[in-house]
Structures are given as structure tokens and as C-alpha cells.
């Protein structure tokens, strides 16, 4: 019986995590400058299929573009997508696309969601670093 209570309390705590107002905070560093990029959940069902095209990417030092998309239904987070592009002369070139699926739990450290990532531009090997965490936006108000 005691084990059942512990399991129920753990499940309730986990559900509290995902029912919180989620926010993905990414720290993106290029050429010695760190950019903080926050993303909130998008509940628009029309964005689910084409969300990558609708969301704006952030410029990182004129060399890279970084985009995070959070998808959900009724404020329940279902998917997190991260895109990193290299700014080529003609058009941006996709360097990395990452997709995370539920279930999620809130991060305790700055890069808990993704770990630290290191990406390099094609021609000269310029380095971009990023790491993301899933936070409770209610605590950031």
C-alpha cells in the first residue's frame, strides 16, 4: 500500500510538471556572444504540420539562424522542435533538426533538455554552441 502511495505521489508530481506553463529557454553562443532565446507553446492546430515555416528564426551573429517550436494541445506540451541553419549566400542551409516528444519533465539545470550541442558551419568551421532547458514560465513572470 505504501509503495502505491509513493507511486501516486510521484505521478502527481510528474503531472504537475507537465501541466505547468512550459517555456523552452535556449542559450546560443557564437563568436563570444550568448543569446537567450525563449519559446512558448503554440496551441494552433494549423501550425502543427507547417510550424517550421511559420515560426521566425533568430539571427545569431549574421552567420546562423536558430528556431525553437513548441507544439501542444490545450496547453499540454506534445513536441519540441529545434532547427539550426547556416546563413549561406543564397539561402539558409539546415545544419540540424531535432525533435523531442512527450513526456517531458521540467529542467533542473540550464541544458537539461538538449545537453550542450556544438555545430560547425560548412565552409570555415565556425562554431555555434547551444543548450536548452524546459522551464515553468509561471516562475519567470
Domain that holds residue 111: 2-140
Domain count, the chain: 1
Which pTM was predicted? 0.79
* pLDDT per residue as tens digits for the range 3-30: 433 333 344 444 444 456 899 999 999 9
Beta-strand pair 127-136/22-30: antiparallel
Strand, helix or coil for residue 51: helix
| pLDDT tens profile 78-105 | 999 999 999 999 999 999 999 999 999 9
CA 38 to each of CA 100, 104, 111, 117, 128: distance values in angstroms, whole numbers, following the listed order: 16, 17, 13, 17, 17
Amino acid at each position: 500500500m505504501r509503495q502505491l502511495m509513493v507511486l501516486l505521489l510521484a505521478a502527481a508530481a510528474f503531472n504537475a510538471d507537465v501541466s505547468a506553463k512550459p517555456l523552452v529557454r535556449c542559450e546560443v553562443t557564437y563568436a563570444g556572444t550568448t543569446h537567450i532565446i525563449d519559446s512558448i507553446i503554440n496551441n494552433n492546430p494549423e501550425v502543427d504540420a507547417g510550424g517550421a515555416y511559420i515560426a521566425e528564426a533568430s539571427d545569431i551573429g549574421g552567420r546562423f539562424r536558430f528556431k525553437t517550436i513548441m507544439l501542444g494541445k490545450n496547453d499540454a506540451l506534445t513536441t519540441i522542435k529545434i532547427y539550426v541553419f547556416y546563413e549561406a549566400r543564397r539561402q539558409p542551409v539546415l545544419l540540424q533538426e531535432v525533435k523531442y516528444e512527450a513526456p517531458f519533465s521540467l529542467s533542473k539545470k540550464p541544458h537539461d533538455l538538449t545537453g550542450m550541442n556544438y555545430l560547425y558551419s560548412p565552409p570555415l568551421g565556425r562554431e555555434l554552441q547551444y543548450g536548452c532547458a524546459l522551464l515553468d514560465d509561471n516562475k519567470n513572470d
